[in-house]
Amino acid sequence: MPKVAIYPGSFDPVTNGHLDIIERGLKLFDRIIVAILTNPGKKFLFTLEERIEMLEASMKKFSNVEIDTFDGLTVDYAAQRNAQGILRGLRALSDFEYEFQMALMNRRLNREVQTVFLMTGLRWIYTSSSIIKEAAQFGGTIKGMVPPVVEKRIKEKFGGQS
* 51 is annotated as an active-site residue: no
Catalytic residue among 24, 31, 81, 91: 91
Catalytic residue among 10, 58, 128, 129: 129
CA-CA distance, 102 to 141, in Å (whole number)?
Answer: 33
CA-CA distance, 95 to 93, in Å (whole number)?
Answer: 5
* 10 is annotated as an active-site residue: no
CA-CA distance, 31 to 21, in Å (whole number)?
Answer: 13
Kindly list the strands in the beta sheet with 85-90, ordered across the sheet, starting from the edge strand earlier in the chain. Answer: 65-70, 31-37, 4-9, 85-90, 114-119
* 88 is annotated as an active-site residue: no
* 27 is annotated as an active-site residue: no
3-class DSSP state of 67: strand
Catalytic residue among 10, 18, 58, 153: 18
Active centre residues (catalytic): 18, 42, 91, 129
